[in-house]
Structure 1
């Protein structure tokens, strides 16, 4: 999922705009590098604002970042009995 970064707050957080399927604690990446985590979602439901805590407060972030999809195909499977 694409997230457009709007600005950086004085405390070092990043504010972006995204889509409604974003979840808190999702990993934010750029060029396959982890740059932070989603810590808050606020604003309108259809196009919410997303607050991101970067790994490094001095990080230079591009205009577009991506949220890694945490869905695993093995997440809800039951363990086999032997």
Structure 2
């Protein structure tokens, strides 16, 4: 099973309890939270690609995108 790192951004109206529950569920499923962002309500998480659709369906998740290197020219 292939795993990747994804940025999971939470909706603005997601409560701290909502975010904590999602993070707890991710950790319990074997995912690894690699970074917690402070300027935006989001985390970077390494998880199997097959689990993305379940996470996307969560009502407190606004967006999920694959983490990738960004270069400035």
Q: TM-score range with shorter-chain normalisation? A: 0.3 to 0.5
Higher strand share: 1
Indicate the structure whose relative CO is greater, using CA pairs within 8 Å and at least 6 residues apart.
2
TM-score (norm 1): 0.36
Structure with the largest fraction of helix? 2
